[in-house]
Amino acid sequence: MTPLPNAWTLDPDTLAEAVALRHELHRCPEVSGAEHETAKRIASRMRAFGAEVATGLGGTGVAAVFGAGDRTLMIRAELDALPILEAEGPEYRSEVDGVGHLCGHDGHMAILFAVASALSRHAPATRVVLLFQPAEETGAGARAVLEDPKFAALRPDMAIAALAALSRDVPTEDPRFRLATVTHARLGVPSFGISPGEAELQVTLRTLLNAEMEALEAEARGLIATMGAEFAPVITVHDPFSHSVNAPAATALLERATQGLPRVKGAIPMRPSEDFGLFGTEIPAAMLFLGSGTDHPELHNPDFDFPDALIPIGAEIFLRGIAVFSASKTDKMS
């Protein structure tokens, strides 16, 4: 196992500050594209750690740069919350009506806060970019960051991220998985004896890989054209997400960074949308699951609350990843 500098030890005070930050962010959630105050809070804390800070990435994104070198590792967290009313819960529950951090992004930011605290005490032997990305929930954020000219100066050689999820022990799912879910239907206005003049149907299409999505979308368009030809249907596409496939080099880095930690035996591809995959189209990238247990509320549920106990675990994994990346002379993690 690659050793960590003693200065990277996550002491109780650092972890207490990280937890306090998560609770602060949890109280003041902001939806995708409107994460202005969240970004200010993060940028302020990163500057206090002495990081070189870039703001306004892809809209409201924040990047904090630590260390130096000819190779760069990027670790991503997310700024945005969900437009979902939070259930009655902790004393730090959302103070914004109809918006809540029910996706764990407050926890991801707290993890990178702990990482930044460690890096501020002992500079890494490589360049590290901590990216706080906007608009992950709509699928627009990663693309906006990649297309932002300011990102060129930050461009990493590898990217990693983490997601809190239920721990499950199940066999790998068939990569040909396809699913179409009707999420909304409207037939004109409520009335008796009158045929609706218009109708709206919203359907979410899910596949594991982009090629399968292209085929499924083509089938859906063909079905609409056949069944609705006389109604002149209008088709629009919202919140498209690319598939997220872990690159071998980035996976190897995370394998070494998680060495010795408990692991779930089975593996299942993630069905929820995640725009981190776009980074993987341009650089080696990988995402890992941080298990939140077998009985914790699932992501996007009104009662989901990121477990504070995951903050030191996630931060240590990322710090180990930085150490592995620093020690490696190439992108191949031997």
What's residue 331's pLDDT? Answer: 45
What's residue 237's pLDDT? Answer: 87
Residue 238 domain flag? no
Q: Are residues 252 and 227 in the same domain?
A: no
Residue 332 domain flag? no
What's residue 141's pLDDT? Answer: 96
Residue 236 domain flag? no
The mean pLDDT value for 106-134 works out to: 98
Residue 267 domain flag? yes
Q: Are residues 63 and 195 in the same domain?
A: no
Calpha distance 68→234 (Å, rounded): 51
Q: Are residues 226 and 114 in the same domain?
A: no
171 pLDDT exceeds 60?
no
Question: Kind of pairing, strands 61-66 and 72-78?
Answer: unpaired
Q: For residue 269, what pLDDT band results from cuts at 50, 70 and 90?
A: low
What's residue 184's pLDDT? Answer: 80
The mean pLDDT value for 202-221 works out to: 85
Q: What is the mean pLDDT of the chain?
A: 89
pLDDT tens track for 14-37: 999 999 999 999 999 999 999 999
Percentage of the chain exceeding pLDDT 90: 62
Q: Are residues 123 and 201 in the same domain?
A: no
Q: Which residue has the higher pLDDT, 215 or 208?
A: 215
Residues contacting 143, CB < 8 A, separation 6+: 58, 275, 278
Calpha distance 87→9 (Å, rounded): 35
Q: For residue 169, what pLDDT band results from cuts at 50, 70 and 90?
A: very low
Q: What CATH number is attached to the domain comprising 292?
A: 3.40.630.10
Q: For residue 212, what pLDDT band results from cuts at 50, 70 and 90?
A: confident
Calpha distance 18→107 (Å, rounded): 9
> What is the domain count for the chain?
2
Q: Can you give the residue range of the structural domain that contains 199? A: 178-207+209-231
46 pLDDT exceeds 80?
yes
Residue 295 domain flag? yes
Q: Which residue has the higher pLDDT, 210 or 110?
A: 110
Q: Where are the alpha helices (DSSP H) in the chain?
A: 12-27, 36-48, 105-121, 141-147, 210-227, 248-257, 277-280, 310-327
pLDDT tens track for 288-317: 988 887 788 787 889 999 999 999 999 999
Q: Are residues 151 and 197 in the same domain?
A: no
Residue 78 domain flag? yes
Q: For residue 173, what pLDDT band results from cuts at 50, 70 and 90?
A: low
Q: Are residues 152 and 262 in the same domain?
A: yes
Q: Are residues 94 and 132 in the same domain?
A: yes
334 pLDDT exceeds 50?
no
Q: Are residues 164 and 182 in the same domain?
A: no
What's residue 270's pLDDT? Answer: 65
Residue 237 domain flag? no
Q: Are residues 189 and 213 in the same domain?
A: yes
pLDDT tens track for 83-99: 999 998 899 999 999 99
What's residue 163's pLDDT? Answer: 86
Q: For residue 155, what pLDDT band results from cuts at 50, 70 and 90?
A: very high
The mean pLDDT value for 63-70 works out to: 97
Q: Are residues 130 and 256 in the same domain?
A: yes
CA-CA-CA-CA torsion sign (154, 64, 252, 214):
negative
What's residue 121's pLDDT? Answer: 98
Q: Are residues 186 and 45 in the same domain?
A: no
| 135 within 8 A of 59, measured Cβ to Cβ | yes
The mean pLDDT value for 175-195 works out to: 76
Q: What is the pTM of this model?
A: 0.86
Q: Which residue has the higher pLDDT, 237 or 146?
A: 146
Residue 287 domain flag? yes
Q: Are residues 12 and 63 in the same domain?
A: yes
